[in-house]
Amino acid sequence: MPQIQSQKKRVKTNNKRNLVVSAQKSALRTSIKHVLAAVEAKDKEAAVAAYNEANAKLDKAVAKGIHHKNYANRQKSRLSKAVNSIA
């Protein structure tokens, strides 16, 4: 355990930040799963709606530095390909 007051505070703030980032990552993964589930069910409207939500969360994750931009672009491409496969 840290002895210095500023280090004690850093431990607290790091733990708080870790919880926030973990929640955002989890929400992102959930939204990606919603897209894939809608594609499996061949529900075009639900897939498009979920895809738009996932895109917004991916962009926000990149802006906040949670994920790399290439990760977001790869996921967007993969999900759009899946959504477009529904005829």
Say if CB 30 and CB 53 are below 8 A apart: no
Of residues 71 and 87, which shows the higher confidence score? 71
For the cut 90, the answer to whether the pLDDT of residue 82 exceeds it is: yes
Domain span at residue 77 reads 5-84
Q: What pLDDT is recorded for position 1?
A: 86
Using alpha carbons only, give the angle 45, 47, 50 rounded to the nearest 5 degrees. 110
pTM of the model: 0.87
Tally of domains within the chain: 1
* Digit-coded pLDDT (tens) for 12-39: 999 999 999 999 999 999 999 999 999 9
The helix/strand/coil state of 78 is helix
Q: Where are the alpha helices (DSSP H) in 5-68?
A: 5-40, 44-63
CATH number of domain containing 17: 1.20.58.110
The whole-number average pLDDT for the span 52-74 is: 97
Q: What percent of the chain has pLDDT over 90?
A: 98
Q: Which of 59, 65, 64 is nearest to 79 (CA)?
A: 59
For the cut 80, the answer to whether the pLDDT of residue 87 exceeds it is: no
